[in-house]
C-alpha cells in the first residue's frame, strides 16, 4: 500500500520543519503499510494520507499552548496525537487507547520515529479520572461531544482545554451538548478554525475550557497506571 502514497504537497514542508519532516514521511509510510494491514487505516485513505490525515492533524497544533501535557483520547492510529508530538517537541503527549492491537502499533511508531516526548497508555479515559491530569485533551472521530465531555473533563486541570476535531456538524454538536456543558461547569465552549492556507477546508475544532470539576466524577484509586504491555513507551 505504501507505493500508493502521493507526493507530499508543498505546504507540508512549511508545516513539518526540521526533524519533523523526516518523521512525518516515516509516519506516512507506517500508516500506509502496517497501519492498513492491521486495520487502523482504510486502504482508500492511503492516497489522502497527507492532506486528510497528517496535515489536517498537524494544524491542530496552532491551538495548542506551549509546554503542555496533552492526552490524545482514543488515539487509534495516532491521529492527531502522534502528529502533534512530531510537530511540537515542546509538549509531552500521552496516547490513550484501550485496544491492544492499536497500542502495539503506537508503541512501534514511537520507537521507530524516536519520539522521546510520547508515552503510550492502554486503557479507557474513565479509568484514569482523578489519577492523571493534563493541560490539554485532543480527540478525533471518537464520540459525539456530549459523550466526549464525560471522558475528557475529568482528565483536565481546571482551566485545561479539550480540543475536539469535528467536521461539518461541529456547530450542531456544540448546540446539542449545551446541557452537558452547563452541568459540567465549563468556562467556555466555542468553534475554532485552524489551518487556513494550509488545508482546505480549514480544520474545525470545538474548544472547551474546563472549569471547576463538579463534586463526584473524580475518584481516587490505588490502582497504578496501566501502560500497554506493562510499560511506558519512551516516556519523559
Q: Which CATH number is 183's domain given?
A: 3.40.50.150
- Structural domains in the chain (count): 1
Residue 235 lies in a domain: no
Residue 227 lies in a domain: no
For the whole model, what pTM was predicted? 0.87
Estimate the share of the chain in helix, then strand, then coil, as percent rounded to the nearest 5.
40, 20, 35
Annotated binding site for S-adenosyl-L-methionine: 74, 79, 125-126, 140
Looking at residue 231, its pLDDT comes to 43
Residue 224 lies in a domain: no
Residue 168 lies in a domain: yes
Q: What is residue 129's DSSP assignment?
A: B
Residue 131 lies in a domain: yes
Quote the domain boundaries for residue 208. Answer: 12-212
Per-residue pLDDT tens over the stretch 109-159: 999 999 999 999 999 999 999 999 999 999 998 999 999 999 999 999 999
N-term to C-term CA, the chain: 33
Annotated binding site: 74, 79, 125-126, 140
Residue 226 lies in a domain: no
Looking at residue 6, its pLDDT comes to 85
DSSP-derived 3-state class of residue 132: strand
Residue 128 lies in a domain: yes
Amino acid at each position: 500500500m505504501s507505493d500508493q502514497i502521493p507526493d507530499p504537497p508543498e505546504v507540508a514542508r512549511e508545516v513539518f520543519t526540521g526533524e519533523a519532516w523526516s518523521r512525518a514521511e516515516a509516519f506516512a509510510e507506517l500508516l500506509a503499510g502496517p497501519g492498513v494491514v492491521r486495520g487502523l487505516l482504510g486502504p482508500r485513505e492511503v492516497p489522502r494520507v497527507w492532506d486528510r490525515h497528517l496535515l489536517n492533524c498537524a494544524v491542530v497544533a496552532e491551538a495548542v499552548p506551549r509546554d503542555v501535557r496533552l492526552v490524545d483520547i482514543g488515539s487509534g492510529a495516532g491521529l492527531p496525537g502522534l502528529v502533534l508530538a512530531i510537530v511540537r517537541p515542546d509538549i509531552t503527549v500521552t496516547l490513550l487507547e484501550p485496544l491492544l492491537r492499536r497500542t502495539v502499533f503506537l508503541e512501534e511508531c514511537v520507537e521507530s520515529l524516536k519520539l522521546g516526548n510520547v508515552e503510550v497508555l492502554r486503557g479507557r479515559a474513565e479509568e484514569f479520572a482523578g489519577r492523571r491530569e493534563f493541560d490539554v485533551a485532543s480527540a478525533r472521530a471518537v464520540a459525539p461531544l456530549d459523550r466526549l465531555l464525560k471522558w475528557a473533563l475529568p482528565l483536565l486541570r481546571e482551566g485545561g482545554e479539550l480540543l475536539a476535531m469535528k467536521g461539518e456538524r461541529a456547530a450542531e454538536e456544540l448546540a446539542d451538548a449545551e446541557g452537558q456543558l452547563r452541568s459540567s461547569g465549563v468556562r467556555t465552549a466555542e468553534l475554532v478554525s485552524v489551518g487556513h492556507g494550509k488545508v482546505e477546508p480549514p480544520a474545525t475544532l470545538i474548544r472547551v475550557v474546563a472549569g471547576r470539576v463538579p463534586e463526584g466524577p473524580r475518584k481516587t484509586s490505588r490502582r497504578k497506571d496501566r501502560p500497554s504491555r506493562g510499560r511506558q513507551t519512551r516516556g519523559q
